[in-house]
Amino acid sequence: MAEELPTKFKTVPYSSFFKLWYFIQKALPEDVRKTVLMKVGRAIGNEFNIEGINTIDQFLSAATRFVVDEWGITDSANFQAIKEGDTIVRIVDKLDSCKMCFSNTYYKLHDQGHPECMFPHVMLAILGKVRTKFGFKNISFESVRKPGPIGECIMSWRVN
């Protein structure tokens, strides 16, 4: 029975998620928010299944399926591997509708809060799971750019 619980419902109404994420951000004291959400993000990323991933293209597709279909945090993702010569040096992702961004922005505007994005930590855990397979070293979150409306961003992680 326990195995069925995580997939009992494929989705939750967005208003429920929005309120939950907003109140988590608001309730966590600023001095512990980053640490708590880092741990949660890493736990989510550790659920990424690396079975059957042998190429970087398979990895990018699996990462997209994970964030869109399994985690369901965005409607689309566009992962790319950036190379310098033959070496992959960075993984970049463009999200167009991150579900956390709307409540994070509301918290920032409504409460003058300082929200914490969990997505970079999810990806750090995922990248850690494939680091040996693809020779990634010194994995770190590099940057986030917000070129468009709320929910849209481009994030990058150094992998070499």
What CATH number is associated with residue 30? Answer: 3.30.1380
- CA pseudo-torsion sign 93, 98, 100, 105: positive
Instruction: Classify residue 137: in a domain, yes or no.
Output: yes
2 lies in a domain?
A: no
For the entire predicted model, the pTM comes to 0.92
42 domain-assigned: yes
**Which segments of the chain have a pLDDT < 70?**
none
Domain that holds residue 114: 13-158
| Three-class SS state of 151 | coil
- For residue 5, being part of any structural domain is answered with no
In a domain, 4, yes or no: no
Looking at residue 46, its pLDDT comes to: 98
- Structural domain total, the chain: 1
Determine, yes or no, domain membership for 104.
Answer: yes
